[in-house]
Amino acid sequence: MLRVRADEAWVEIGAGHGEMTAHLAAAAAHVTAIELDPPLVTGLRERAKAWPNVRVAAGDVLTLDLAELAAAERFRVYGNLPYYITSPILHLLFANAARIVSAHVVMQLEVAERVTAAPGGRDYGYLSVASRYFARPQIALKIPPGAFRPAPKVWSALVTLEFPGAAAELGMNAGGDENGAFLVFVQACFAQKRKKLANNLRAMAGEDFAAGEIAGLMSAADIAPGARAEELSVPEFVRLFRVVRARRVAKDT
């Protein structure tokens, strides 16, 4: 079970029948339990009559304002994420990174391995970079199919995301438009994973840079000319992003 302190506010994503809600309610100062399914919402609200510190929020988490629901300046998150919208929910958490202390989320093991992957491994990609940029991710527990009813066909994992991540150390804007531009840049770097990074940068830049200029940009960022995106750490991506952005600004002035 999670360690919950009496002065904490928690947001629970996908509260279901309220098993984890009960655990959070027993210790936390405030709990917001989000649930989409109407019958489950009705059941949660009935149970919540015994929990004065619990608010049940009905709706799709992707359309809700987590920071507004949290009832605190800083809050923690627990969620058993639907596999088919794990990535959008993670991006919702990233969008609220400045307010979240930590997130503890259950997801498919295959996705968890991508979220927590280190540079150089086969699982390392865009989601790995985004997760390390905003948080410090790690797999806390691997969960066999038999732990769920009905049992899924795949293993799951509890992933812990401690905020902030590398963005804070690198001086990036944790709550502004710079984050969005950086994520678009990283996606472009991984557009064709088997190709060298220079090829993806060339495709992304289009007519912005002259032929041969990409090599100079990579050199300015201290990135090897034959590097692939999967080899770069978050600080290296940020360094390259800044070099490319500065060059574009210079061209526009």
Q: Consecutive sets of 10 residues in the chain, 253 residues long: mean pLDDT of each?
A: 91 96 97 97 97 97 94 94 94 95 97 97 96 98 90 93 95 77 95 88 77 88 95 97 86 65
> Minimal CA–CA distance to 79: which of 112, 49, 51?
112
Residue spans in the chain of domains classed CATH 1.10.8.100? 177-252
What whole-number distance in Å separates Cα of residue 143 and Cα of residue 138?
A: 14
Amino acid letter, 194: R
The edge-to-edge listing of strands for the beta sheet with 9-13 is 54-58, 30-35, 9-13, 75-80, 100-108, 156-162, 136-143
Which residue's structure tokens are 């678009």? 184
9-168: CATH topology is: Rossmann fold (3.40.50)
Distances, alpha carbon 130 to alpha carbons 139, 157, 184, in Å: 16, 19, 10
Task: Please say whether the dihedral angle defined by the alpha carbons of residues 103, 109, 112 and 118, taken in this order, is positive or negative.
Answer: positive
Residue spans in the chain of domains classed CATH 3.40.50.150? 9-168
What dotted CATH number matches 177-252?
A: 1.10.8.100
pLDDT of residue 252: 65
